[in-house]
Every structure is written in structure tokens, then in C-alpha cells.
Amino acid sequence: MASPNALTSQDDDFPRWYQDVVAKAEMADNGPVRGTMVIRPYGYAIWERMQNELDARIKAAGAQNAYFPLFIPESYFAREAEHVEGFSPELAVVTHAGGADLTEPIVVRPTSETVIGEFMAKWVQSYRDLPLLLNQWANVVRWELRPRLFLRSSEFLWQEGHTAHASYEEAASYARRIHLETYLDFIVNVMAVPALAGIKPPRERFAGAINSLTCEAMMRDGKALQMSTSHELGQNFARAFGIVFQSEDGQSEVCHTTSWGASTRLVGGLIMAHGDDRGLVVPPRLAPVQAVVIAVREDNDVLDACGSVNAALQRAGVKSVIDRGRGSFGRRVTDWEIKGVPLRVEIGPRDLANQVATIVRRDDGAKVVVGLNDLASTALTLLDEQQAQLLALATTRRDEATTDVETIEDAIAAAQSGFARIEWRHLGESGEDQLNEVAVSVRCLQRPDGTTPQNPDEDNLIAVVAKSY
């Protein structure tokens, strides 16, 4: 069954609905090489908003942006055995360039622990050089067997942070700060997605890490999506790359390092966490366009009024635009609905005669007629209300689709349509095997109160179990 905007219904075929939204909201197209994607201007505008919000939080945590090469010598990966084993199936390797075979194959960057580790070893000499806090915005390549736009593509955009510290405690504390104050804060308070913060069980950790922290969110079909990860790398990479420093008492010591990242997968998460059968729904704090002003009938007086209203909205701090599309009023409304713009301001000749406009909310379709003099202040109020309402509704959906269970069989049953919570001590690695046989996995481990534990050996931990993307 098609939705009012000619999208496949979520209830009928959620994956097809997702593809419809990506295409009809003009978010992205498939690239010419299998697994690659072309991000269209509207999709990239949303990614830019994500970048801006995350970048501000990363810099507030003291990290500085840098850039490292896309091409990495293959020998770098051999230095950390677990790391190379974990990434080998996804590596793209260049063996021929400049008309000749290369002396050493070159890996196209899947992640940058190795190359950044090489340069950290050069830049760190003394305890005075620590902590070294780096971040880069870049593209990476991981050869995906089952690509899906934004969620899993062979090339994608992301930020990856890498830090070196004098002690385990300092490194673990910093990874946790990024986990909570950068990622979780952004996902909850800007994306309006009620993510769960926890740690990965040992078998799900990043290759080479001693601990992986994760933010996991429920999509509208009940599946989980990993939104971000932060990794404590211990001294594994530091030993492999010789990242050592002279301590304050003159001793040579090995650094403790971290890495952490979030990618354009967040755009896919946005679509699936809030989208409905009318298309995308973008939370106001994230939206590149918060309000669109549309003339019901395009005569000169109405168009002049639209310009004045748009200017007033912008002066008030609302990211607004005037609709300059072609086609019928209904078609243009549909196009903006699919894009998920939070507010639509409609003005026609009758509205202008009465000095009013109609504001339509994207989330629930509610309409309010407002005097032109009060329009900007009303829009600001409605944007705040919509931001809060989206988070509240997503939280309710998640909680209603989350079940506390005591057996693996019940966990598997609950995971067919949502999340299951089971005591970690009742599950363990043998239980993980049973889950994996039916495409269910442990998404994260949490304390009973929902906070993030220090390690998987803490008492009374809860495993959150789900199907995932």
C-alpha cells in the first residue's frame, strides 16, 4: 500500500520505505561503483548540520582537527595482529599505480589507528606532550557485501578521533567523556533519538580494543542501529607503533590510546528513527531548513508578504526559506513534507487580507492560524515543542517495544519486534552463539539503572539484545 506521498508504507515493507524516502527526499543516489553513494545537496546539508554540532562538542572536549593520508602502507596493519585480522575482509588494497606494480601494497583507509599511531610516535616525546587529542573529518573505505545507502556503504564519511594519554585512567575517562558528552548528548538532544549508552561485550569490541563504548538506538521497525562508538585501546597500538614518552620522573613509559567515531550512518538513523509514511521528519535543532514559506497563490502581493515573513523568521533566528518550486501548491507541499521540514508557513490572498498565516507542523500535521506580527515568536515556540515531542514519542516507542526476559528463547522472541533485556550472567558467550544463529546480537551491556559500566565483569549487568542494521 502506498502512503499519501506515494511512498511504500512502513508496515508493508520497511526497507522499501527507507529506499523511497532516500530517493524522494533527494538525500542520495547510488554511485557508479557498487556500494558507493552520491550524497545530494539536501542529504549533505543534514550531514553538515551533524558535523557542526559534533565538531563543536569535540573541540569543547579539547581535541584539535587534523588530516591524515587516505593511503596507508599495508605493513602498518601487520603491526597490530588483532586489528589486521578484524579488518582484512573489508580492506581495499592498491597494488598497481603509475603504470607499474607497487613495491608495497597500499591499503585505502578503513580507519586510521595505524597511520595516526605512526605520527603520534613522532610527536610524543615527553609527558608534556600529553594528552595528544586529535580528530579528523574524512572518508573511509570498507568493502561492504550488502551495501545500503547511509547505513552500510563501501565508502562513507565520518569523523574519527584519536588520543594518547599518560595513564589508563586518563584514557578511559576521556573515551567515556566523548561517549557521553559528545555522542550521547548530540544523539539525544539534537537528533531527538533516545539512544542507549553501554559497552560492547568482549566479542563485539573494535578489533584491537580493550573496551568499546557504544550508543545504540531503536529504529521504528524495532531493529537496533549502532550510532557511535568510543574505544579504549589500552597500550596495544602504542606498543605496536612505539608511542612512548618520558615520564615526569624520567622513566620511559608506553602511552594509552583511544579512538572514537561517528559517520553518515547517523543520517540513516535519523530517517529510520523519526520518518513516517509521509517521509522524513527532521528534528528542529538538526534541520538545515526549519521553516518553509509557501504562497498558496503566487500573485505579487502574496509573494511580497512571503518575503517579509521569511525575513522576519530569519531575524528571529529561524532557518527559513521561501518555496520557489514549480508545480501546483499541493505538489510543492508534498515535496516539503517528504523532506521533513519542521514547519510550513502558508499564505494566500485571503490570509493576507486578514493579516494572518497558517503554520503547519510536520510531526503531527497540526495547523495554527497566526497573526503576521506574532508569526516569528509562535514559530520559535512550535519548534521547541516539536523537538521535545519527537524525543518523547521516540522514547515511548522504544520503551513499549522493550521487554525484560529471563531466558534466551524469550530474548529471541522479543527481538523479532524490539529490544530484549536479559541479565548478562544468564547469557554469556554460549548465549551469544545461540542469538547469532538467528541474526540476533547483544547490542550493549548496561547497569540496571541504564548507565554505562566500566567493564563487562561488573555485577548484575543487563544485556540489551536485538536484531540490527
* Whole-number pLDDT of residue 90: 87
Q: Which amino acid is at 317?
A: G
30 membership: H or E segment, kind and range = strand 28-30
Phi-psi category of residue 333: left, alpha or beta, with phi > 0 → left and psi -120 to 50 → alpha: alpha
Assign domain 291-383 to its CATH architecture: 3-Layer(aba) Sandwich (3.40)
Q: Which amino acid is at 62?
A: G
Enter the C-alpha cell of residue 30.
547510488
Q: Where are the domains of the chain?
A: 14-274, 291-383, 402-466
pLDDT beneath 50, residues of the chain? none
Task: Report the CATH number of the 402-466 domain.
Answer: 3.30.110.30
305-337 residue pLDDT tens: 999 999 999 999 999 999 987 889 999 999 999
* Whole-number pLDDT of residue 13: 97
218-228 residue pLDDT tens: 999 999 999 99
* Fold (CATH) for 14-274: BirA Bifunctional Protein; domain 2 (3.30.930)
- For residues 74 and 94, give the distance between their C-alpha atoms in angstroms, rounded to a whole number: 9
Against a cut of 0.85, is the pTM above it?
yes
110-165 residue pLDDT tens: 999 999 999 999 999 999 999 999 999 999 999 988 899 999 999 999 999 999 99
Residue 201's contacts (CB-CB under 8 Å, 6 or more residues apart) are: 424, 429, 432, 442, 445, 456, 463
